């Protein structure tokens, strides 16, 4: 295949040409597009060389993408178990995944369609010609990566941080092992479902013989096309979800990113908590609006804290209503989520639906709750303890899956995900 052609024989677009030719190709392109566009091309190249092309999120960086990245529309979450006992196979897998992720983040094919019609193509092909759709890959290591059934399986048990442990059980938990744990995980997010699915499928293909799929869940939010103006996404109970979240670099340094003091290989990484939470939509839909508002402590339509006007107004937990009761009930979700304000997390959740629960003829839907924090046991756990004890929301939800993963910092060009660990 020539550099100027796609595998299907079609000519590359100007954008793809720019990509492949880099600065060396600039003269040619200037000739083709006229002097008037030199500045524009310069800008494009600058952006492209930095990996800042519209629709692309750079794969390499200080932190893994997909954590501080504004949530894309679709998500696939895969949890995997390792079938190999050989650490060098795991290392090679991460090297291959890194290369593949970088390519897919740039909307590149994973390899040539071979000239040999008797071997499978290197890329499955369904994302050919599609944009990168802001795809991100976030890789994590579960506690069982380090120690399984009492065995230090790869000789790395002494590198397992104390923050990476299975969560305790909370009152009301209905955790199913089919939706829990995993040696490794990958969170793939993109603004196009086909692009995201293609990525997951190809990561699994690359991992064949070394990992098996343990569980997998897709998630969604509203699309950009459907959104009239940028706003906080709504969950399946119809409430704005994600209003209070870290937003500044300082917030992220305080709440999300590890400084590596607990384990050097986790520097600039974060600990992910995943809870698959079923939402009892049929029960909720029979609940009157006042009770819905009191359950969250916010107004359904505006997202404002009860007693306030606008979504981003500070909640006043001391304010009383006309009956002399707290405007924001003490057992409301936001009151318990806030506590005394000392525990904070980054929430990056997606709605899911697995269509229907045939045993009950009801919708099977909910929230794939994902949070990132420096320490799940100092941040997520105390919040969840309060909620499990007295959250009004508990009547309408069931926690059915649970997992914790250590997501290391990002990798530099030439390195690979987890290289500081191996
Ligand atoms: C233990 C952590 C949390 C779980 C589990 C959780 C589940 C869950 N949340 C919603 C919907 C909303 N959550 C909101 C706020 C909120 N939730 C948590 C934590 C957990 N939620 C926190 C820390 C907060 C912020 C509290 C604060 O400081 O104000 C809101 C309000 C709007 C917002 O800020 O995003 C909604 C809505 C569902 C449906 C759910 C389980 C299915
Ligand atoms: Fe919440």
- Domain range for 3 is 1-50
- For the stretch 235-287, pLDDT in tens is 999 999 999 999 999 999 999 999 999 999 999 999 999 999 999 999 999 99
pTM of the predicted protein model? 0.89
Token pair listed for 230: 């940028």
Residues forming a β-bridge with 367: 277, 351
pLDDT of residue 374: 98
The rounded distance, in Å, linking the Cα atoms of 175 and 275 is 9
What backbone phi and psi angles, to 5 degrees, belong to 74? -120, 150
Domain count, the chain: 1
pLDDT < 70 positions in the chain: 1-52
Token pair listed for 15: 């954008």
122 is a domain residue: no
> Helix, strand, coil: what percent of the chain each, to 5?
30, 20, 50
39 is a domain residue: yes
The rounded distance, in Å, linking the Cα atoms of 373 and 394 is 23
CA distances from 18 to 26, 27, 44, 362 (A): 8, 11, 8, 51
38 is a domain residue: yes
Ligand number with the minimum distance to the CA of 167: 1
34 is a domain residue: yes
Atom of ligand 1 nearest to the CA of 303: 32
Token pair listed for 44: 């494009």
**Of 335, 398, 419, 418, nearest in space to 138 by CA:** 418
Atom of ligand 1 nearest to the CA of 242: 35
Half-sphere exposure of 75 (CA within 13 A, CB side): 27
Cα–ligand 2 centroid distance for 333 (angstroms): 6
Contact residues for 269 (Cβ-Cβ < 8 A; gap 6+): 63, 64, 257, 258, 406, 407, 408, 409
Go through the chain and tell me how many residues it has.
Answer: 422
The β-bridge relationship of strands 211-220 and 184-190 is unpaired
Cα–ligand 1 centroid distance for 65 (angstroms): 23
Place of tokens 């890329």: 123
pLDDT of residue 147: 97
Q: Are residues 58 and 51 in contact, defined by beta-carbon separation less than 8 angstroms?
A: yes
171 is a domain residue: no
Ligand 1 pocket residue status of 405, Cβ below 6 Å: no
Cα–ligand 2 centroid distance for 22 (angstroms): 46
Token pair listed for 285: 């839909």
24 is a domain residue: yes
- Give, using CA atoms, the residue closest to atom 3 of ligand 1: 384
pLDDT of residue 52: 58
Contact residues for 330 (Cβ-Cβ < 8 A; gap 6+): none
15 is a domain residue: yes
Ligand 1 pocket residue status of 277, Cβ below 6 Å: yes
26 is a domain residue: yes
Taking residue 115's Cβ as centre, other Cβ atoms within 10 Å add up to 7
Q: Are residues 400 and 276 in contact, defined by beta-carbon separation less than 8 angstroms?
A: yes
Q: Are residues 55 and 132 in contact, defined by beta-carbon separation less than 8 angstroms?
A: yes
Q: Terminal CA-to-CA distance of the chain, rounded, Å?
A: 36
pLDDT of residue 281: 97
- Give, using CA atoms, the residue closest to atom 27 of ligand 1: 338
pLDDT of residue 47: 47
**Of 408, 337, 340, nearest in space to 372 by CA:** 408
């Amino acid at each position: 295949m020539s550099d100027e052609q796609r595998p299907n024989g079609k000519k590359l677009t100007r954008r793809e040409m720019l990509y492949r030719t880099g600065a060396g190709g600039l003269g040619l392109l200037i000739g083709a597009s006229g002097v008037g566009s030199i500045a524009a091309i310069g800008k494009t190249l600058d952006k492209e060389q930095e990996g800042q092309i519209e629709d692309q999120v750079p794969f390499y960086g200080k932190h893994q993408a997909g954590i501080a990245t504004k949530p894309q529309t679709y998500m696939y979450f895969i949890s995997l178990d390792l079938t190999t006992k050989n650490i060098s196979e795991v290392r090679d897998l991460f090297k291959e995944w890194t290369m593949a992720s970088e390519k897919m983040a740039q909307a590149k094919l994973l390899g040539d369609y071979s000239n040999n019609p008797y071997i499978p193509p290197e890329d499955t092909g369904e994302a050919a010609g599609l944009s990168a759709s802001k795809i991100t890959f976030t890789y994590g290591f579960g506690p069982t990566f380090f120690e399984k059934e009492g065995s230090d399986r790869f000789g790395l048990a002494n590198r397992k941080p104390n923050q990476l442990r299975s969560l305790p059980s909370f009152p009301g938990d209905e955790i199913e092992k089919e939706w829990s744990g995993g040696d490794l995980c990958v969170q793939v997010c993109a603004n196009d479902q086909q692009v995201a699915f293609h990525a997951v499928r190809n990561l699994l293909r690359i991992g064949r013989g070394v990992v098996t799929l343990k569980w997998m869940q897709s998630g969604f939010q509203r699309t950009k096309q459907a959104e009239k103006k940028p706003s906080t996404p709504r969950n399946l109970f119809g409430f704005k979800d994600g209003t209070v979240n870290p937003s500044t670099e300082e917030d992220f340094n305080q709440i999300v990113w590890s400084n590596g003091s607990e384990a050097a290989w986790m520097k600039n990484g974060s600990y992910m908590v995943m809870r698959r939470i079923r939402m009892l939509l049929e029960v909720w839909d029979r609940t009157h609006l006042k009770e819905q508002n009191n359950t969250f402590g916010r107004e359904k339509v505006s997202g404002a804290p009860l007693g306030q006007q606008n979504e981003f107004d500070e909640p006043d937990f001391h304010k009383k209503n006309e009956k002399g009761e707290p405007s924001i009930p003490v057992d409301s979700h936001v009151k318990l989520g806030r506590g005394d304000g000392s525990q904070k997390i980054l929430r990056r959740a997606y709605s899911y639906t697995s269509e229907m629960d045939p045993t009950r003829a009801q919708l099977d839907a909910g929230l794939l709750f994902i949070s990132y924090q420096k320490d799940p046991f100092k941040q997520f756990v105390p919040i969840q303890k309060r909620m499990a004890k007295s959250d009004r929301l508990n009547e309408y939800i069931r926690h059915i899956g649970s997992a914790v993963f250590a997501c290391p910092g990002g990798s530099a060009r030439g390195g690979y995900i987890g290289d500081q660990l191996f």
